[in-house]
Amino acid sequence: MLSELIAGAVADASARRAVRSQADVERAALDRAPALDALAALAPADRVKIIAEVKRASPSRGALADIPDPAALAARYETGGASAISVLTEGRRFGGSLEDLEAVRARVSLPVLRKDFIVLPYQVFEARAAGADLVLLMASALEQADLVELYALVTELGMTALVEAHDAEEVARAVDLGASVIGINARNLSTFELDPGIFPRLVDRLPSGTIRVAESAVKTAADVARYREAGADVVLVGEALVTGDPVATLTEFLAG
Ligand SMILES: O=P(O)(O)OC[C@@H](O)[C@@H](O)c1c[nH]c2ccccc12
């Protein structure tokens, strides 16, 4: 499944590149106001922080929510106390787009993450051109040499990479990279299996000073509290926020 998602993302990026050249996107990326300081926004604090995700659908769960106005949803997330907004821009299985990200960027003052299957420099430039401050880089989707190259590009453009891992080998590669923000995903994107035990098992491998993000499988405030107790600085939540009242849910999740 992961390889199918990557192939789709590459095909879609190639189609967009036929319309908007790499040079045009690079220029647009450099013309943007500087990216927001995501490291400051996500820095460890005496309370857990939340990255709230705009997520219409997923390959494992199908349609989750009708989100006619992603910017309005993101504004609710900001009101509810989110520290950053994640926007799924993958179109085929997650129902997102770069237009969603641009709309969110225009509305909120929080850092915005481009959540997609990023394997090409073109996609990184597009992210910046659309106003992203953070870019997801998945260790499972990238050979180490490509991960190193894309990480350098993200940093060079003034953005922050959220490097995602879901096993010990991927964590080791993220650490080798010197990544400042590392996410441990409870969902295996090859099998879609959810294992909330992955974060507690792997978190001790992250060097001190790393911003530790627990991703997926957060349904209740108790799930947030469990991740926090295990050492999460930040929790990334999608489904629970798009299927419930976002402000009430965030308030509850941040109370513990
Ligand atoms: O909806 P959830 O279970 O709260 O999960 C959010 C987020 O972690 C998930 O969307 C995600 C994590 N890593 C990804 C990589 C690609 C696409 C999606 C994801």
CATH number at residue 182: 3.20.20.70
Task: Give yes or no for residue 216 CB within 6 A of ligand 1.
Answer: yes
- Atom of ligand 1 minimally distant from the CA of 241: 4
Residue 144 has pLDDT above 80, yes or no: yes
Give the per-residue pLDDT at 192: 87
Looking from the CA of residue 240, the nearest atom of ligand 1 is 4
> Does residue 256 carry a pLDDT above 80?
no
Task: Quote the number of domains for the chain.
Answer: 1
Report the alpha-carbon distance of residue 79 to residue 246 in Å, rounded.
9
Question: Rounded distance, CA 13 to CA 123, Å?
Answer: 7
Q: Inform me whether the pLDDT recorded for 226 exceeds 80.
A: yes
Question: Which residue range forms the structural domain that includes residue 142?
Answer: 2-255
Distance 156 CA to ligand 1 centre (A): 26
**Binding site membership of 159 for ligand 1 (Cβ less than 6 Å):** no
Whether the pLDDT of residue 122 is over 90: the answer is yes
CA of 29 to the centre of ligand 1 (A): 26
Residue 133 DSSP label: S
Nearest to 113 by CA among 57, 200, 52, 158: 52
Question: What pLDDT is attached to residue 94?
Answer: 98
The H or E element containing residue 22 is helix 22-31
- The interface predicted TM-score (ipTM) is 0.97
**Protein residue with least CA distance to atom 8, ligand 1:** 216
In sequence order, the 6+-apart residues with CB closer than 8 A to the CB of 42 are 49, 51, 83, 84, 111, 181, 211, 213, 233, 234
18: CA distance to ligand 1 center in Å? Answer: 29
Centroid of ligand 1 to alpha carbon of 11 (angstroms): 21
Catalytic residues: 53, 55, 115, 164, 185, 215-216
Res. 189 pLDDT band, cuts 50 70 90: confident
